[in-house]
Amino acid sequence: MNELLRPVYLEEKLEQVRGDGHQDYRSKSLPTWCPGCGYFSMAEGFTFALNRLGIDCKDAVVVSGIGCASRFPFFVSTYGFHTLHGRTLPVATGVKLANDALTVVAIGGDGDAFAIGGGHIPHAARRNVDLTYLVFDNGIYGLTKGQTSPTSALGFKTSTTPYENADEPLNPLMLLLAYRASWVGQAYAGRQHHLADMIVEAIAHRGFSYLNILSPCVTFDKTDMTYANLDVQVRDLPDDHDSSDLMAAMAEASQGDAPPLGVLYNVDRPTLTDVMDETARRSKETVS
Ligand SMILES: Cc1ncc(C[n+]2csc(CCOP(=O)(O)OP(=O)(O)O)c2C)c(N)n1
Ligand code: SF4
Ligand SMILES: [Mg+2]
């Protein structure tokens, strides 16, 4: 029988899911997100990525701020740090500097990242701290019940903008590219396998990797960043996109109406730890 036409039985499927090992990265706490929230794809994609890369739970730390996305550390069995609103990157940087052998993943929402936490992004990016920043961009403050965020679209009606949002939205990809993050990509919660592959690539990158994940808030956004809208708006990057070309990446990133999915930018340059090791070496030379 054609493999695609073969019936799939629940027990068989469960065995397959248990067998591949990625469920071992989930904690005993079940996610408290609303049914249908894009964040379920992140839990799946993240555990898949750690499993694929063979990273042991004891060697990984997830750092988050405050928001629905930031509840994430509770739902995985790695080490975790649920820190203050907007302070994800300084804490994650501290973890990496304290123990360079750890895989450090910072996680947050668009409010945590670009409103209260926005001042930290340029510095983590320009210093090329060797960590991965996964931002779940739903264009809204989900946890606090649906206020506008820095990435909310023009004209979006929320509880804080009943006469429509008049603020120009911030473009996360352009911001990260402007500050020379060494890896910048975008994924969509509605394309789960692609999202998982992108998390694998982001974590495997040596240096500061930023993945913007378009992720519907099904409870407080019924009109804008919905699955129905994003399904037709997102597009793959062109096959001939050159991810070492900053200007090409910016040209793609600037097309906000047709969000590109894939790796926009990817270059190798010294990380913060490399620079600090070199400084320590030179200071020893000076002393001796
Ligand atoms: C210092 C401080 N200011 C404000 C808040 C209230 N607050 C909690 S979460 C949040 C925004 C969350 O939005 P986002 O980061 O986009 O996460 P989401 O819930 O959408 O995943 C705000 C303003 C807070 N907890 N602490
Ligand atoms: S409020 Fe929105 S972002 Fe938060 S869990 Fe529910 S659907 Fe997800
Ligand atoms: Mg949000």
Q: Is the pLDDT of residue 41 over 80?
A: yes
In a domain, 188, yes or no: yes
pLDDT tens, position by position, 144-167: 999 999 999 999 999 999 999 999
Does ligand 1 have an atom closer than 6 angstroms to the CB of 33?
A: no
Domain that holds residue 23: 9-287
Does ligand 1 have an atom closer than 6 angstroms to the CB of 169?
A: no
In a domain, 39, yes or no: yes
CATH number of the CATH domain containing 191: 3.40.50.970
Q: Is the pLDDT of residue 9 over 70?
A: yes
Say if residues 46 and 17 touch (Cβ distance below 8 Å): no
In a domain, 1, yes or no: no
Q: What average pLDDT does the segment 259-278 reach?
A: 97
Does ligand 1 have an atom closer than 6 angstroms to the CB of 149?
A: yes
Does ligand 1 have an atom closer than 6 angstroms to the CB of 109?
A: yes
All residues at 6 or more sequence positions from 169 whose CB lies less than 8 Å from its CB, including other chains: 139, 150, 151, 152, 153, 154, 256
In a domain, 122, yes or no: yes
In a domain, 2, yes or no: no
Count the domains in the chain.
1
pLDDT for residue 179 = 97
Q: Is the pLDDT of residue 62 over 70?
A: yes
pLDDT tens, position by position, 224-244: 999 999 999 999 999 999 999
Q: What average pLDDT does the segment 69-86 reach?
A: 96
Ligand 1 centre from 116 Cα, in Å? 8
In a domain, 249, yes or no: yes
pLDDT for residue 284 = 92
CA separation for the pair 196, 276 (Å, rounded): 32
In a domain, 112, yes or no: yes
In a domain, 262, yes or no: yes
All residues at 6 or more sequence positions from 171 whose CB lies less than 8 Å from its CB, including other chains: 253, 254, 256
pLDDT-derived band at 17, boundaries 50, 70, 90: confident
Does ligand 2 have an atom closer than 6 angstroms to the CB of 140?
A: no
Ligand 2 centre from 56 Cα, in Å? 29
CA separation for the pair 38, 140 (Å, rounded): 13
Q: Provide the b/e sequence for 23-35 (b: ≥16 CB within 10 Å).
A: eebbeeeebebee
**Polymer length of the chain:** 288
Ligand 1 centre from 97 Cα, in Å? 27
